[in-house]
């Protein structure tokens, strides 16, 4: 409980709410940096996935 806290014995975390928010922002920035670095590969993979999905749904239309 909060009333049982003794600052001489109990340890307090060195980070506060600001540190948690900064860590969250850095994690998001790192995620977006990876996406920006590999956006070409991600785009090619998305197009390939979409085209294979489209072929399975609509099938190949061959002209005679």
Read off the pLDDT band of 13 (50, 70, 90): low
Q: Is residue 64 situated within a structural domain?
A: no
Q: Does 63 fall in a domain? A: no
Range of the domain at 4: 1-58
- State the Cα–Cα distance between residues 25 and 27, nearest whole angstrom: 5
Res 61: pLDDT: 66
CB 24 within 8 A of CB 18: no
Condensed to tens digits (0 to 9), the pLDDT of residues 15-34 reads 677 777 787 877 887 878 88
* pLDDT tens sequence across 34-61: 888 888 998 999 999 999 988 888 876 6
Work out the average pLDDT over 4-18: 74
- Which value, to the nearest 10 degrees, does the dihedral of the CA atoms of residues 39, 44, 49, 52 take? 170
> How many domains in the chain?
1
Cα–Cα dist 26/31, whole Å: 9
Q: What pLDDT does residue 3 have?
A: 82
Domain assignment of residue 31, yes or no? yes
User: Average pLDDT of 2-19?
Assistant: 75
């Amino acid at each position: 409980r909060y009333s049982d806290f003794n600052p001489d014995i109990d340890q307090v975390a060195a980070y506060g709410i600001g540190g948690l928010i900064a860590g969250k922002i850095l994690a998001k920035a790192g995620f977006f940096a990876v996406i920006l670095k590999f956006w070409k590969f991600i785009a090619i993979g998305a197009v390939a996935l979409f085209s294979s999905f489209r072929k399975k749904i609509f099938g190949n239309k061959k002209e005679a």
